Structure formats: structure tokens, C-alpha cells
Amino acid sequence: MLAAQGIINHSDAEAIREGLLTVLSEIDGGDFQFSTALEDIHMNVEARLKEIIGEPAGRLHTARSRNDQVATDFRLWVRDQLDAVDGALLSLIHALLDQAEAGADWVMPGFTHLQTAQPVTWGHHMMAYVEMFRRDLSRIRDARARMNECPLGAAALAGTSFPIDRHATAAALGFDRPMANSLDAVSDRDFALEFLSCASICAMHLSRFAEELVIWSSAQFRFVTLSDRFSTGSSIMPQKKNPDAAELIRAKIGRIFGANLSLMMVMKGLPLAYSKDMQEDKEPVFDAADNLMLALAAMDGMVRDMTGNRAALAAAAGSGFSTATDLADWLVRVLGLPFRDAHHVTGTLVAMAESRGCDLADLPVADMQSVHAGITEDVLSVLSVQASVASRTSYGGTAPANVRDQIKHVKSELK
């Protein structure tokens, strides 16, 4: 660009370009000799360039500053990380879709307060996480679109008097446009904060699922079996199989949350434009990116390898009077009771079944009629967990047909 604009001559531009490629190869090969006598990476590169090409190296820094260079480099790095997270999320979403499709009609308990609430399907539960990670994917893509502006050419803070072409350099680096304000260009770290914010929300979703996998793989639940690739044994208890990968995901998330808060604290009191405080922007972002990618890869692997225990899921789905709401709905729909009255009748029947140590479906209809005379044999049709999930056909409901439609819809959108 400098040569094209007539700011430096073409022979100097070519010498600089060739010299920088040599420097790059030395750094990549581990042969570059860094000197602590020089102030920073920029000065080390320029000094080595001068050794290679001589006087033209002095023109390297024309119309630029370390401020706009670092801001540009950091944006390029974060943009690459957003693309990497995009790919990792897509892979995890497809893994969840495969699990949902395989168990679209498997019944399992749905929980509120970690207490059995109503039966749902395995596919429906997997699709809940698909929705969470699709929102994460949307946020990542929004953040990428918003941050894809180029600071290069803003120089130290005020722009430059040289007739540079910022649109050309922005396009050459894959940016949509140059940043519109030179002060903002060198002092903005919103793009890094937004990456950390997106990473934190995604990490929270990963942690929630990791917690469920820890619970589900326990001897008390046995809902899933995790593969040996993502579990370890105990050093003294041979029966143990510990969900280490899920636990480590759950723990590492704290580092991502911490990185987000750390950079917020760095930026909160800085006047325009650049301050040396901003050197502390990179370490938390690098660490958060590493840990997010690790957590996504581990969760992807666990989801692909895990085996749902259909029998245990079904047995648990029928426990805890999970079809009580279906009974209340039947009383409203068939007998015309106000829902509050139906709730009271159902509560009385649940207490009766609990006192006898049986499920609602095992209560004789005659005994049900002692609570409400209008109850008929037809009520038994809604008291099985299979009937319960099949009836939840409202949009977004757990019915297997709904789940399969939603899987098809998401796959179509992802294409």
C-alpha cells in the first residue's frame, strides 16, 4: 500500500517484503535471536530487518504506530479464534443432533429443582442443549461481524498526514472496512471483551451439561455410560468410573469467567486513547480461548461416545408420580373442572397412591372415583409416560414427532 500510494518506492517495498519473509521464517524455525536490549517485538523485527536489507528497513514504520499494529494483530487473532469456536460449536451441535435422533422417543424424567417433574424424551433433552449452543453460535457470528473492522492506519491515535489507503489495507487483511475513528481504533478492546462474553455464556452452557453428565453417570442414576476415553478409575476402588472430563470442564469454566472480569477491570478506568494497562489484555484472552476450545472438544467427544441407558431412563421416567400433571389436565379437558379444582383432586390421588406405595396408574378406578365421581376408565390412557410425552404436541413440546421435526429443521438451517 505504501508503494502503491507513492509513499515509498517499489524497490524499497520489495526489499522490505522479502526481508520480512526471512524474519518470519527465522521466527517460525526458532532461529530468531531476540534481544532484551531492544524494547519489544517491533524493535527486534526492525533491527533484524536492517541487518538483512540495510537502509530500506528504516522505512518499515512509515505511517504506522505500534498502537495500530497491535490493535490490528489482536483483532486478527481474535477473529481466528471466533472462527475456530464456530467450527467447534458446529461439531458439538451435530453430535447432539445425532443423540437426539437416536433417542427421539426414549422416555426419561424431566426435572425441576432436580426433582422429578414430568416425563420428557431423551431427544427433547438433547435438543435443549442444541438450542443453547445454536445461540452461542449466533453470538459468535454476530461478534465476528461486528469486530471485522481494521485499525491499521490510525497510527498512534490521530491518524497520519501520509496519503495512505486504509480501505486497501483493510481489504488485504480480510476486514470489511477500516475503523472510522482513529482514537477508537487504537483504544478499543470491545472485540476482545465480546469474545470473552460469548465464551463465558458458552462455557456456562458447557458447565451445565457437564454437571448433568456427572449426575447421570453416577451409580444412583445410571442414565448414561461415558466411554473410558473420558473417564478414569479409582486408585483403590476398582468399581469406580469417574467422569473426569465432565468435572474438568465444569472447573475450567471458572478461568473463562475470570478472564472476562479481568479484562473488564483493565478497561473500566482508561481514558482515551492508548494506555500501557492494555498490554494486560492478551493473557486472559489467550487463556480463555485455550480453555474454551479444550472444553468444547472434550464435550464433543463425550457426547459422541456416551451411551444412554434406555431402560434406566424409562424406569426413572415413571417414578415420582411424573404423570400427575397429565391427570390434572385430563380432569380439566374431559370433566371440565377448573384447573385449581383438578389440581386439588390430583393431589389427593397422589397422596393416596403414595400411602399405598404404588403409582397413579395402579390405583383402581373405583378408588379414584371416591375422590371424584366423574373419573372413568378413560383416565388410564393418560397415566403412562409414553402417552404423556406423545400428548405434548404444542410447539416446542417433547412429543417424539415434535423432536424429529425440530431435528430436521435444525439440520436444514445448519446446511
Nearest in space to 179 (alpha carbons), one of 84, 273, 45:
273
Active site residue 35: no
Beta strand extents in 202-314 (DSSP E only): 224-225, 307-308
Nearest in space to 334 (alpha carbons), one of 372, 385, 366:
372
Q: Residue 149 forms beta bridges with which residues?
A: 177
Active site residue 113: yes
Cα 166 from Cα 187, distance rounded (Å): 18
Catalytic residue among 35, 138, 218, 234: 234
- What values do phi and psi take at 161, rounded to 5? -85, -10
Residue 282, SS3 per DSSP: helix
* Residues shown for the chain: 415
Q: Side chain identity at 299, as an amino acid letter?
A: M
Contacts of 337 (CB under 8 A, 6+ apart): 331, 345, 372
* Cα angle: 88, vertex 94, 95; to 5 degrees: 90
Asked if 168 and 113 count as a contact pair (C-beta separation under 8 A), the reply is: no
Nearest in space to 191 (alpha carbons), one of 257, 147, 151:
147
| Residues with a known catalytic role | 113, 234
